[in-house]
Amino acid sequence: MPEKNSGENAAVGEQGVVINETYDWLEALTYAVVAVILIFSFVFRTAGVDGSSMETTMHDGDRVVISDLFYKPAAGDIVVVNSPNFTGRPLIKRVIATGGQYVEIVDGIVYVDGEALDEPYASEPVNEGNEGDITPLTVPEGELFVMGDNRNASTDSRFSAVGTVDERYVMGRVLMRILPISSIGTVK
């Protein structure tokens, strides 16, 4: 049997190293893809902004990351809600009041439990006639009163078509904007 020379052994050894490194990279890539899928299935989700109801905070076409992990809704949070009352698509709104709180709108100003809200995020005060058909009201326990930041172009809890939202329909709290790239970052 003829013996292989050392040059052939070195070439076979290098080829084995390349194959092993390629296998290691593919294995690492597979684990990374599986981890991302699991994280975005159970911890984070993405949602798209549809319409102008959250301007100037968010704009039509923005994409956001949301999470409901260990989340309890609180006033001021921006949430994504999906309810049988809606048109079949999730809505992105700001939580104004939670269960047991009293909401009213007087002269374009939103009051919760008799206190005027400081709302630097609202694009403008509520115009006369946009107070809604169900305010003033006390928010039922386990439900939320939500509004868009663009108060005069938002269908929200002020109107019976939406009404207060059961907390069980909160898909998650908005954590950050990821699109457009020029606006990546947290959302207040």
Which one is catalytic: 93, 123, 154, 157?
93
User: If you search the block for the tokens 């374009």, which residue do you land on?
Assistant: 108
Dmax (CA) for the chain in angstroms is 100
* Integer Cα distance of 168 and 142 in angstroms: 8
Q: Which of 53, 123, 154, 157 is catalytic?
A: 53
CA separation, residue 10 to residues 7, 21, 90, 154 (Å): 5, 16, 61, 71
53 is catalytic: yes
N-terminal to C-terminal alpha carbon distance within the chain? 77
d(CA 32, CA 40): 12
Paired strand residues for 34: none
Is 72 an active-site residue? no
* Residue 120, amino acid: P
Instruction: Give the catalytic positions in this structure.
Output: 53, 93
